[in-house]
Amino acid sequence: MSIYLFVLCTSFIINLIFIIPFINLLYKLKFQRGKQETKDAFDKRTPIFDSFHKAKVGTPVGGGLMLVVTTLILFLLFSFIFTALKVPVISNFGQVINEIKIILFTFVFFSFLGLYDDISKILFLQKGSFFGLRLRHKLFIEIALALVVSFWIFKDLKVDFINIPFFGIMHLGWFYILFAAFVIVAFANAVNITDGLDGLASGSLAVALTGLWAISVSILDTPLSLFLVVWIGGMVALLYFNVYPARIFIGDTGSLSFGATFAVIGLMLGKSFALPIIGGIFMLEIVTSLIQLLSKKFRKKKFFPVAPLHLWLQLRGWEEPKIVMRAWVISVMFAIIGLMIAFMQ
């Protein structure tokens, strides 16, 4: 346990050292929200959102990019150190390499998709596009990546089940690939949607990741535990600069990668039933958005005045810090309840 806490603190300090120079670099590169768009174009796309967030135009976007890079480097570095010091490396799936392959593929390739979308938003917003990539194209790529990862989880790790409290294990066979892909895509978009207020996604994710880390430590899975503490340390450092008023945004690079990887780790831990509870804030956000979308499509009218949930609360007059801090408190309770369910399985 002590060595993991040391890794977490080291990750926090290293990310804290590099983040200020990185923010300055983003300013020099003009990698900032709304800088390349006219005020009129900016307001037409999401008028209610922008009415609350006009002051944030010009804030650098790229916190997720930095965290992806530092997490990868530190994870590989500490993996090498663990091996050199002959620290026991235990995997619940037999071969450590398969486990690491799945984690890193998800973390990197979903970040590539988010990075393209971030660049598209900032540099060359296309007419008829949904903030860069067209929504259907973005969703198609997400599904393709999720199917690849789900196939590896099923084929390489031999995971094909969900564990339901009081009912036991249910084996899904090949249908597990479709189930896992759905979970991965859902969380990738849920975290992306949640990343709408300063510190909302990063703080909630730090809490949820800590819940997954507790599970990974309890089953003695070294690669997952190590990756999670490196990631948590970096996430807390990013949160320090992402709280209101944010000096840097996570961006799609981070939110898509973080959401997908969060889901993948939960699936690898065999806690698919507890996963949506541990990540309860993200589920609330995406469910309210989905209800709104379906209502507009089939009922031809809105179910909520505005969605997702955090934007609706802003419309009702809640101040941004109040929404975020209460979301953190609720995230803690979701994580505790999720852990209770996970340890019952």
Would you say residue 175 lies in a domain?
A: yes
340: how many CB neighbours lie within 10 A of its CB?
12
Tell me which residue of 231, 252, 211 sits closest to 121, measured CA to CA.
252
pLDDT of residue 85: 86
Would you say residue 123 lies in a domain?
A: yes
133 vs 240, higher pLDDT: 240
Tell me which residue of 290, 105, 109, 310 sits closest to 201, measured CA to CA.
310
Would you say residue 114 lies in a domain?
A: yes
Tell me which residue of 257, 240, 225 sits closest to 15, measured CA to CA.
240
Q: Is 65 exposed, middle or buried (0-12, 13-18, 19+ CB in 10 A)?
A: buried
pLDDT of residue 255: 96
* Domain span including residue 63: 2-271
pLDDT of residue 328: 97
Q: What residues form DSSP beta bridges with 171?
A: 161
pTM here?
A: 0.92
Q: Residues marked as binding for Mg(2+)?
A: 192, 252
For the chain, the distance separating the N- and C-terminal CA atoms, rounded to the nearest angstrom, is 23
pLDDT of residue 50: 62
Residues 6+ apart with CB under 8 A from 199: 239, 242, 243, 244, 246, 324, 328
Would you say residue 345 lies in a domain?
A: no
Residue 128 binned pLDDT confidence (cut-offs 50, 70, 90): very low
Residues 290 and 270: their CA atoms lie apart, in Å, by: 26
**34-38-43-49 Cα dihedral, nearest 10 degrees:** 10
Tokens 């809640």 -> residue: 318
261-300 per-position pLDDT tens digit: 999 999 999 888 899 999 999 999 999 999 998 998 888 8
Tokens 């698919």 -> residue: 272
31-55 per-position pLDDT tens digit: 887 654 434 444 445 666 666 667 7
Q: Residues marked as binding?
A: 192, 252
168 vs 150, higher pLDDT: 150
71-89 per-position pLDDT tens digit: 999 999 999 999 898 888 8
Cis geometry, peptide bond prior to residue 223 (ω within 30 degrees of 0): no
Residue 127 scores a pLDDT above 50: no
Would you say residue 31 lies in a domain?
A: yes
The pLDDT of 103-111, averaged and rounded, is 97
Please check whether residue 205 is in contact with residue 239, taking contact to mean a CB–CB distance below 8 angstroms.
no
Would you say residue 34 lies in a domain?
A: yes
The pLDDT of 144-167, averaged and rounded, is 90
Average pLDDT, the chain: 89
327 vs 55, higher pLDDT: 327
88 vs 206, higher pLDDT: 206
Residue 109 scores a pLDDT above 60: yes
Phi-psi region of 62 (alpha: psi -120 to 50; beta: other; left: phi over 0): left
The tokens describing 283, both together, are 């589920």
Residue 162 binned pLDDT confidence (cut-offs 50, 70, 90): confident
Would you say residue 290 lies in a domain?
A: no
Would you say residue 190 lies in a domain?
A: yes
pLDDT of residue 43: 42
Tokens 């005020």 -> residue: 39
Q: Is 43 exposed, middle or buried (0-12, 13-18, 19+ CB in 10 A)?
A: middle
Tokens 């969900």 -> residue: 162
Structurally, how many domains does the chain consist of? 1
